[in-house]
Each structure stands twice: as structure tokens, then as C-alpha cells.
Structure 1
Amino acid sequence: MIVTTTNSVEGRRIDAYLGIVSGDAVMGSNLFRDMFASIRDIVGGRAGSYESLLQEAKDTALAEMVERARALGADAVVGVDLDYQVIGGDSKTMLMVGANGTAVRLAH
């Protein structure tokens, strides 16, 4: 499955637009992750635990979107956009990642 942020696939013609597909992932953080991120905020540096959580959320959202495109018989998803939200606050922080695109069938 080809997944691209562009509106076309270079060298391929889009034969049919099958509809908008999306995938979402809501990932909870935890007290220890938040505590270490707060320390990083003070002393500087990268928050590796949050980076890995963000990567996992992106991978999950994209995989869900691709699965929905496959169910429609798509060869590709074009115009992919990733959206990020932080939900909650204090000790109940959650990260939401949404992946949206257009499922298409490519000419062979």
C-alpha cells in the first residue's frame, strides 16, 4: 500500500477515488513519564519516553487508516495528514494522533 502526503502518486494514474479514510490513536501517558518530562523541561534535552509514545501513536493511527483503505479495495492513500492533540492535563494527559487521507485505486 502506497501512503503519501502528496495528492498523486508519481508515474501512476488514479483510476478511482474510494473515499476519505482515517485512523486514530489515543495514548495515555503515566505519572513517571510526566515526571521525567517535567525534569527535562527544566534541565533541557529530549524527552525520549514521549518521543517513543508519539511514534507509537503515529504508527497506530497510520496502520488503522491503511487497514480501512484496504477494506475499500484501495492501492494507495493520498493527501495524508497527521493531526496531534493533547487531551486532559495534570496526571491525566493523553496524546491523540489522527491520520486522514483519500483512499484511491491506481490504474495498472
Structure 2
Amino acid sequence: MLLTTTNTVEGKRIVEYKGLVSGETIIGANFIKDFFAGIRDIVGGRSGSYERVLNEAKNTSISEMAERAKNMGANAIIGIDLDYETLGQGNGMLMVTASGTAVILAD
């Protein structure tokens, strides 16, 4: 499955548009991570625990979207967009949504 943020694929022709596909992930960050991230913010540096959670949520959303496209008979997704939102009380949840257009590319 080819995944791209562009609306075309160089050297390939789109022969059929299958439709919009998306994948969503909502993941929580626990209080220990919040505590250590707060300390990291005070002393500077990157928060590795948050980066890992964010990466996991992104990858899960993309995988879910790709599986849906595969089930539609597509061999590629073009125009992929990733959106990130915080949800819940105290913004304790992270939602990542991946969306794009499932297509069939000629070989």
C-alpha cells in the first residue's frame, strides 16, 4: 500500500477513486508521564514518553486507515492529512486522525 500526502504519484496514473478513508486513535497519557513531562518542561529538553505515545497514536491511525483502504480494494492512499487534538478533562487524552483518498494506481 502506497501512502502519500500528495494528490498525485509521479509516474503513476490513478485509474479509480475508491473514496475517503480515515483512521482514528484516542490514547491517554497517564499521570506519571504527565509528572515527568512537567519536570522536563521546567528543566528543558524533549519529553521522550510523550513523543513515544504520539508516534504510537499516529502509526495506529495510519495502519487503521490503510486497512480500510485495502478492504475497499485500493492499492494506495493519496492526499493524507494528519490531525492532532487533545480531549477530555484536563486535556488528558490525545486523538490522532489520519484521512486520505483511497485509489487504485495503474502498474
TM-score range, shorter chain: over 0.9
Structure 1: segments with no counterpart, 5+ residues: none
The 4+ residue runs of structure 1 with deviation greater than 6 A are none
Aligned to 1:87: 87
Letter in structure 2 aligned against 1:105: I
- Structure 1 position 88, deviation (Å): 2.2
Aligned to 1:54: 54
2:74 is aligned with 1:74: yes
Aligned to 2:97: 98
TM-score by length of 2: 0.96
- Structure 1 position 10, deviation (Å): 1.0
Cα distance in 2, alignment partners of residues 11 and 33 from structure 1: 45
Cα distance in 2, alignment partners of residues 52 and 97 from structure 1: 13
Aligned to 2:64: 64
TM-score by length of 1: 0.96
Secondary structure class of the residue paired with 2:19: strand
The share of aligned pairs that are identical, in percent, is 58
Aligned to 2:14: 14
Secondary structure class of the residue paired with 2:104: strand
Cα distance in 2, alignment partners of residues 41 and 89 from structure 1: 21
Q: Per the alignment, do residues 46 and 89 of structure 1 end up closer, same or farther by CA in structure 2, a change over 3 Å counting?
A: farther
Cα distance in 2, alignment partners of residues 37 and 87 from structure 1: 18
C-alpha distance after superposition, 1:18-63 (max 9, x if no partner): 0000000101110100000111111110000000000000000000
Aligned to 2:42: 42
Cα distance in 2, alignment partners of residues 35 and 43 from structure 1: 13
Cα distance in 1, alignment partners of residues 79 and 72 from structure 2: 17
